[in-house]
Amino acid sequence: MNILIITETFLPSTDGVVTRLTNSIRYFLKNGHQVTVIAPDLGVSEFEGAKVIGLPARRLPFYRSKSFALPNYRVKKLLLECNPDIVHVVNPALLGASGIHFAKKSNYPLIASYHTQVPKYAEYYHLSMFKGLLWWYFRKLHNQASINLCTSNVVKEELEQQNFHNVHVWKRGVDTSLFHPAKSDPKMRHRLTNGMDDKKLLLYVGRLAPEKEIEKIRTVLEQSDQFVLAVVGDGPHRLPLEQYFQGTNTIFTGFMHGEELAKAYASADVFVFPSTTETLGLVLMEAMASGLPIVAADSGPTREQIEHEKHGLLYNPNHMGSFTETILRLEDKALRNSLADSAWRDIHQMGWDDQSKQALTFYLQVIELLHKDYNKKECS
């Protein structure tokens, strides 16, 4: 199969979307498929045998920490040159809008996937008045695809309420060979605790943005001297966060990747995830695979991954003080160990193959749908 992926984000960016894509592409190539990626030009031209075509990228005024490719007429030419069996547009918004338009216009089998709750994020950027317009825009894009994928049942229900068509849940995946409790490393722990190895290390991994609600963690550090915090990642909100956490036992590491990131997870004591706007939260599964108990918001997508009092503790985002109270329960080492053991047992056999196989199945369904429609037109 000749697969064309058009995505708003790709390497060297690191987020849940890129992680899912790279693991899927690796599986597709291993199984004899051809893959081409069209993405913002960030200096990557190849990924393990897949050709990566970069289109001009620029930073946008409202999100300076990341480069985006705008809609581009060149996508039409690239699409015709590639002549794919299937076009998968990932998170269509800007560059992806061109992918949707030209794939549909040229009658290529088209699938789209939804990974980011942009309309919900509008609230955190004081743009709530545009939520209706954003839903209209994303609905218009996604409904041109034969199948739409999303990453949780709760998001599927929300998209269906917003009249998105033919929505399916794309399974979870995590690299359990990379992320493992055995990757715990004393030097990494010493670094992340800033030399206070005897303290309990809280770890946050992810994009640093207002909607992640990372500020909530400061109250824990103020109320208990048993915890220190390491924040791994980068984003538009890093400087305000560094200022906000001044005077606390907190370090900001910037991005980590691969083995370094695996060591960071496995060297911590508790993984904290305050956000209530996630569509999946891949970092939750990476933390579970690393043998960490989780503290996360009691929200739909999170409940699909984290069972309260089994894999971690879910706090009530509507109750002030619930987040801090929940983390303070994990001063208890026996509780931390019990939750960590359960989390690891329930995820350690998961990988990326099942979700990649599922994607191929959806691709074949879309190809078959288009052929059926074509044959009907030929006969009529």
Q: Where are the alpha helices (DSSP H) in the chain?
A: 16-30, 74-82, 95-105, 118-121, 131-142, 153-161, 186-192, 217-223, 238-244, 258-266, 282-289, 300-303, 322-328, 333-347, 353-379
d(CA 233, CA 256): 7
274-297: average pLDDT:
91
| Cα angle, residue 367 at apex, residues 365 and 373 outer, rounded to 5° | 100
In the three-class reduction of DSSP (H, G, I as helix; E, B as strand; rest coil), residue 365 is classed as helix
d(CA 119, CA 70): 19
| Short-list 181, 142, 173, 210, CA closest to 292 | 181
315-327: average pLDDT:
95
| Cα angle, residue 65 at apex, residues 61 and 69 outer, rounded to 5° | 70
| Short-list 311, 273, 275, 267, CA closest to 293 | 311
| Cα angle, residue 127 at apex, residues 124 and 128 outer, rounded to 5° | 85
Cα–chain-centroid distance for residue 297? 16
pLDDT of residue 125: 66
Least confident of 18-27, 194-203, 253-262, 366-375: 366-375
If you compute the radius of gyration of the chain from its CA atoms, what whole number of angstroms results? Answer: 21
Q: Whole-number mean pLDDT of the chain?
A: 93
pLDDT of residue 371: 74
User: What are the C-alpha distances in Å from 138 to residues 81, 157, 160, 359, 369?
Assistant: 27, 15, 13, 21, 23
Least confident of 18-27, 62-71, 312-321: 62-71
Contact criterion met (CB below 8 Å) for 202 and 227: yes
Cα–chain-centroid distance for residue 116? 8
Tokens of 319: 């109750």
d(CA 337, CA 226): 17
Kindly tell me if the per-residue pLDDT of 305 is higher than 70: yes
| Short-list 313, 271, 309, CA closest to 290 | 271
Omega prior to 12 cis, within 30 of 0? yes
Strand bridging mode 46-47 / 50-55: antiparallel
Q: Over the stretch 109-164, which tens digit does the pLDDT of each residue have?
A: 999 999 988 877 667 666 778 899 999 999 999 999 999 999 999 899 999 999 99
Q: Cα dihedral angle (201, 202, 203, 204), rounded to 10 degrees?
A: -160
Percent over 90 (pLDDT), the chain: 83
List domains and CATH numbers for the chain. Answer: 2-173+352-379 (3.40.50.2000), 181-347 (3.40.50.2000)
Cα–chain-centroid distance for residue 166? 22
225-250: average pLDDT:
96
Q: Over the stretch 53-76, which tens digit does the pLDDT of each residue have?
A: 999 999 987 666 789 999 999 999
Give pTM, 2 decimals: 0.90
pLDDT of residue 243: 98
| Cα angle, residue 339 at apex, residues 338 and 340 outer, rounded to 5° | 95
Contact criterion met (CB below 8 Å) for 149 and 112: yes
Which residues have a Cβ under 8 Å from the Cβ of 65 and sit 6 or more positions away? Answer: 59, 234, 235, 236, 238
